[in-house]
């Protein structure tokens, strides 16, 4: 029913207003998520591309950014992610939070996950036990002040912490499963190629929002993979989607793969 006609009838016959708001398009979300079989009579009417979208399993991937925030590059990245409807996870260095609290708040407000990358990017595996606790807590306090209460998952700098020190950590820890070495390449095209070459559904991709070339690469990766049917979610969402309950003090390369601590 056309909305204007419906609204008119609603006035005359006192139809509930909600009846007019009903979408005209059929809701195919159950089919898209594989919850229902597609009836033959609908299948016949769909073009091939739509059909492929409905039949294919949904593909999820998590972009993660370390070593920020940095005002210019992180702002440009957030703008680009917002434009594309892509979520990401930011493992933030605590000492870079003062002065950038607005960026941290923006990350949260725009559906990204904020994580902890220690206060001063120390090598946790060789730091003494007190330093490990201090580095994690100091960053956590700054993040809580900027973003509000929450669980700030840890990405140990250089991806290493050691079994003994991991026992001090009261959140899950996140490694990665795709590392294009963006900090070394500093070249958009090479970083994009390295990620597209390696990526599989469920991957956690390591990038650094500290570098302008990495921001360019990340946005192109989103464009290319979205065209290929991927959805960009936070690390936390990736665990939830895969039905994995992450454990404190465990280092994950992906929700379905842990990494040895030593
Ligand atoms: Ni780092």
Interatomic CA distance for residues 242 and 1, integer angstroms: 40
Q: Which residues contact 205 (CB under 8 A, 6 or more apart)?
A: 61, 62, 63, 64, 176, 177, 178, 179, 180, 195, 199, 221
Give yes or no: residues 109 and 167 share one domain.
yes
Q: Return the exposure string of 88-98: e unless at least 16 CB atoms fall within 10 Å of the residue's CB, then b.
A: bbbbbbbebbe
Distance 173 CA to ligand 1 centre (A): 14
Distance 88 CA to ligand 1 centre (A): 16
Instruction: For residue 124, count other CB atoms closer than 10 A to its CB.
Output: 24
**220-255 pLDDT tens trace:** 999 999 999 999 999 999 999 999 999 999 999 999
Interatomic CA distance for residues 139 and 152, integer angstroms: 9
The predicted pLDDT at position 233 comes to 98
Domain final position from 55, 72, 95: 55
Give yes or no: residues 143 and 167 share one domain.
yes
Domain final position from 21, 37, 55: 55
The predicted pLDDT at position 84 comes to 98
Q: Which of 248, 174, 226 is nearest to 205 (CA)?
A: 174
Q: SS3 for 230? A: strand
Low-confidence ranges of the chain (pLDDT < 70): 1-44, 52-55
Give yes or no: residues 126 and 182 share one domain.
yes
Rounded to 10 degrees, what is the CA torsion of 107, 109, 114, 118?
A: 70
Give yes or no: residues 197 and 210 share one domain.
yes
So which residues are the catalytic ones? 66, 208
Instruction: For residue 6, count other CB atoms closer than 10 A to its CB.
Output: 16
Distance 93 CA to ligand 1 centre (A): 8
The predicted pLDDT at position 47 comes to 76
- Write phi, then psi, for 123 (nearest 5 degrees): -80, 95
The predicted pLDDT at position 12 comes to 42
Give yes or no: residues 98 and 51 share one domain.
no
The predicted pLDDT at position 240 comes to 98
The predicted pLDDT at position 262 comes to 79
CA–CA–CA angle 110, 113, 116 (5° rounding): 135
Give yes or no: residues 240 and 160 share one domain.
yes
The predicted pLDDT at position 27 comes to 59
Give yes or no: residues 76 and 202 share one domain.
yes
Q: Which residues contact 43 (CB under 8 A, 6 or more apart)?
A: 51
Domain final position from 40, 55, 70: 55
CATH of the domain at 91: 3.20.20.370
Distance 122 CA to ligand 1 centre (A): 9
> Domains in the chain: how many in total?
2
Structure pTM? Answer: 0.80
Distance 7 CA to ligand 1 centre (A): 57
The predicted pLDDT at position 8 comes to 43
Give yes or no: residues 66 and 7 share one domain.
no
Give yes or no: residues 41 and 105 share one domain.
no
Give yes or no: residues 11 and 100 share one domain.
no
Q: Please give the residue range of the domain that contains residue 18.
A: 2-55
158: left (phi over 0), alpha (psi -120 to 50) or beta: left
The predicted pLDDT at position 261 comes to 93
- Write phi, then psi, for 251 (nearest 5 degrees): -100, 120
Give yes or no: residues 13 and 103 share one domain.
no
Give yes or no: residues 63 and 48 share one domain.
no
**156-170 pLDDT tens trace:** 999 999 999 999 999
Distance 118 CA to ligand 1 centre (A): 9
The predicted pLDDT at position 46 comes to 73
**Per the structure block, which two tokens stand in for 163?**
């079994």
The predicted pLDDT at position 57 comes to 78
Q: SS3 for 11? A: helix
Distance 233 CA to ligand 1 centre (A): 21
Interatomic CA distance for residues 212 and 76, integer angstroms: 9
């Amino acid at each position: 029913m056309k909305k204007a006609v419906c609204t008119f009838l609603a006035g005359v016959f006192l139809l509930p207003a909600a009846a007019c708001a009903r979408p005209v398009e059929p809701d195919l979300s159950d089919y898209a998520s594989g919850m229902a079989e597609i009836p033959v009579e609908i299948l016949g009417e769909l073009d091939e591309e739509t059909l492929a979208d409905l039949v294919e399993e949904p593909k999820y991937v998590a972009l993660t950014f370390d070593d920020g925030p940095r005002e210019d590059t992180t702002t440009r990245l957030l703008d680009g992610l917002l434009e594309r409807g892509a979520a990401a996870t930011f493992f933030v260095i605590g000492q870079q939070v003062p002065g950038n609290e607005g960026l941290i708040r923006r990350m949260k407000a725009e559906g990204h996950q904020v994580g902890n990358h220690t206060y001063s990017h120390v090598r946790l595996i060789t730091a003494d036990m007190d330093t490990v606790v201090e580095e994690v807590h100091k960053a956590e306090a700054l993040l809580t002040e900027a973003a509000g209460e929450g669980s700030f998952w840890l990405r140990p700098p250089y991806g290493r912490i050691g079994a003994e020190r991991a026992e001090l950590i009261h959140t899950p820890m996140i490694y990665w499963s795709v590392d294009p070495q963006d900090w070394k390449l500093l070249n958009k095209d090479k970083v994009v190629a390295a990620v597209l070459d390696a990526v599989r559904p469920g991957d956690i991709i390591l990038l650094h929002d500290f570098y302008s070339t990495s921001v360019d690469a990340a946005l192109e990766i989103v464009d290319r993979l979205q065209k290929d049917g991927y959805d960009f979610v936070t690390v936390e969402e990736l665990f939830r989607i895969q039905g994995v309950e992450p454990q404190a003090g465990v280092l994950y390369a992906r929700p379905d793969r842990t990494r040895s601590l030593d």
